[in-house]
Structure 1
Amino acid sequence: MPILFLILKIFGWIALVILSWLIIVHPITKLVRRLTHLPDPTFIVCFINNPIRRKIHPPEKFIDHVDIHEGMKVMEMGPGTGFYTFEAARRAGLSGHVYAVDIKPAVIAILNRKIERAAAKNITTEVASAYEIPLPSENIDRVCMVHVLPEIPDKQKALGEIRRVLKKEGSLTLAEGLIDPDYRLRKTEIGWCRDAGFELVESHGSSFFYVLTFKVSQEDLMTKSYIS
């Protein structure tokens, strides 16, 4: 009986946290984001990096879709405090590298401390805007973003920068979940990416959490080759 009571108590606390997020934090964050067009505050980013999320959406599952191989260069845009970063780095290996780019210095400071504690040698952090990514052109094999693209006001400018740093055979993987205040429908994100010269190659998941993988469209590659 005490064990059953403890289990029920744990589930009760989990339910309370989820309800608090949906009823209080989610609407307030959504309203502030719509009015200010600013990124999520640091406390929200830290809040979502928790064991419950890790259980519901294991980072390994999303990184499977990113398709990272040993030796690859990966850019994670909006890594937060590293929920997916370390798994990406593990798969890239010491011969590969992960560039974690975030506009919020406070978030990068937290991630830097985690990197130092983990003694991770193949992760580099950058405080930078999605409009001015501090990486060379055609240098990255994989770009991944989770709950990030809808937060960016000028999506075409950001996607243009991502296209610039991607190798011709590289890919962009996006994920969105219904719990995010800036959630957009799958067809909306596909439209944004197509307008920026990407073509959809894979689509997984449901309306609650979906993953999309894109490559630069052949038409766009031909246009760039013709211009150059």
Structure 2
Amino acid sequence: MAHRPDCRGIVITHGTDTMEETAYLLDLTVEGDCPIVLTGAMRTASDPGYDGPANLLSALRVAASPQARGLGAVVVMGEEIHAARLVTKVHTLSPATFQSPFWGPIGRVEGEEVILHRRLPRQPCLSPESLEERVLLIKLAVGMDDGLLRYAVEWGMRGVVIEALGGGRVPPWWMPTIREAVARGVALVIASRCPAGLVYDRYGYAGAYRDLKEAGVLFADGLTGPKARLKLMAALGAGLEGEALRQALITVER
């Protein structure tokens, strides 16, 4: 539908728990200028202050706006327009749960007007025949051992995304298993468990960024772990490997 010449925009109503992931996957894989707008509700129809109709109306206004052409996929909630790459759900109950940490919304709906503050450059779309399902996400916490990563290697996972500490750091005792995973052909990607910022540091100790880079891991700048996992699933599903896979994971040019 997005490729039809008479399509001005698409609105998708979606549950809020995984809305950001669906939005990002669509942004990754659907080419063209037709905007795809996802929206939903944080309160049910029986609740005071039900937000569904207002969110749907805002989404329709964005989808129909000429300004939205070429935006890709966006989330519209609470009269705010958020880029799929940046948006995340930050509160379990609040109607203002969708935020783009440190960046803010790219626009707003004010009355009948759609106002865009900025545009994010679109990145090359991926064309997977299917998503590679054998991709595991591991979120690091203090004192964790590498058992989950060893499981991933032993059970034939095609890819692993590690939500690492800070600017991309893992405990030193993870490094032997990380090197083994890379040597056995597992696409191992480092994201940060921080909500924003580059995966990078200047530290030289074992398990820091430079050590990981020398071990042959890949990096997903500015993406949460779930979004980095989706991008890796799509890239592997498109048959990318080696340098092509590394380039596909780049979200921030340095």
TM exceeds 0.5?
no
For normalisation by structure 2, the TM-score amounts to 0.30
> Which structure is higher in helix share?
1
The structure with the larger Rg is 2
For normalisation by structure 1, the TM-score amounts to 0.32
